[in-house]
Structure 1
Amino acid sequence: MEIKKDNYFENARNFFLVADQEELVRKLGLQADGDFIYLRVMDIQYRISQKLGDIQRSKDGINYMYEKSHDAALSIFDYLTWSKDDRKLSGEFVSLKGMGFNSHAYLFEGHGGIYERGGAMFSGKSGKLSKVLDRFDGKKMGSADVSSVFEVFDGFPICFQFWEGDDEYTPRIFFLWDANTAQFIHLETTFYLLNMVLDRMAELFEEEIN
Structure 2
Amino acid sequence: MNNYRIAYNQGWKVLKDRNFNRVSKIRDVKYREDVNIFEIDILGDHYILDCDSEKIYNTETLEDMDISLAITLLNYLGFSDDDTKIENKWVSLKEIPNGGNLYYPAFYKSSIEPLIKEFGYSSDIFLIIALGLGGAEYKFGDVSAVFNIFPRVPICVVIWEGDDEISANATVLFDSSIQKIMHIESSIGIGMFITKQLKDLTIYLK
SS of aligned partner of 1:66 = coil
Partner of 1:127: 124
The amino acid across from 1:66 in the alignment is: D
SS in 2 for 1:157: strand
CA separation of 1:207 and 1:13: change in aligned 2, threshold 3 A:
farther
1:20 corresponds to which residue? 19
Q: Aligned residue for 2:141?
A: 144
Deviation of the 1:81 alpha carbon: 0.8
Counterpart residue number, 1:107: 106
* Cα distance in structure 1, aligned partners of 2:81 and 2:198: 28
CA 1:128–1:166 in 2, change beyond 3 Å: closer, same or farther?
A: closer
Structure 2 residue aligned with 1:41: 42
The verdict on how the C-alpha distance between 1:128 and 1:83 changes in structure 2, with shifts beyond 3 A counting, is farther
- Residue 189 of structure 1 corresponds to which residue in structure 2? 186
Counterpart amino acid of 2:43? Answer: M
Q: Does 1:162 align with 2:163?
A: no
Structure that is richer in helix per residue? 2
Do the aligned partners of 2:95 and 2:101 also contact (CA within 8 Å) in 1?
A: no
1:66 aligns with 2:67: no
- Going from structure 1 to structure 2, the CA distance change for 1:37 and 1:44 (only over 3 Å counts) comes to same
> Which stretch of the first structure deviates more once superposed, 115-124 or 175-184?
115-124
Distance 1:169 1:19 in 2: 50
Query: Contact 1:82–1:185 (CA<8 Å) still a contact in 2?
Result: yes
Show structure 1 runs of 5+ residues with no match. none
Q: State the AA in 2 paired with 1:65.
A: E
- Separation (CA, whole Å) in 1 of partners of 2:39 and 2:102: 33
| Aligned-pair CA distance for 1:25 | 2.0
Calculate the TM-score normalised by the size of structure 1. 0.81
SS at match of 1:75: helix
TM-score, normalised with respect to structure 2: 0.82
How far is 1:108 from its partner? 1.7
Deviations 1:38-65 (A, max 9, x none): 012232221111112211125xxx4432
- Checking the alignment, whether the CA contact within 8 Å between 2:90 and 2:173 is kept in structure 1 is yes
State the Cα distance separating 1:80 from its structure 2 match.
0.8
Please list every run of 5 or more consecutive structure 2 residues that lacks an aligned counterpart in the other structure: none
Q: Secondary structure at the match of 1:104?
A: helix
Deviation at 1:169, TM superposition (A): 6.1
Label 1:145 to 1:19 Cα distance change in 2 as closer, same or farther (>3 A): same
Shift of 1:147: 0.5
Equivalent pairs counted in the alignment come to: 201
Q: Is residue 29–residue 39 contact of structure 2 (8 Å, CA) maintained in 1?
A: yes
Shift in Å, 1:196: 1.6
1:81-120 deviation per Cα after TM superposition (whole angstroms, max 9, x unaligned): 12443201211111122334312011122xx432112221
Aligned-pair identity in percent equals: 19
Kindly indicate whether the alpha-carbon contact (under 8 Å) linking 1:21 and 1:50 is maintained by their aligned counterparts in 2.
Answer: no
For 1:105 and 1:27, locate their aligned partners in 2 and report how far apart those are by CA, in whole Å. Answer: 29
Cα distance, 1:134 vs. partner? Answer: 0.8
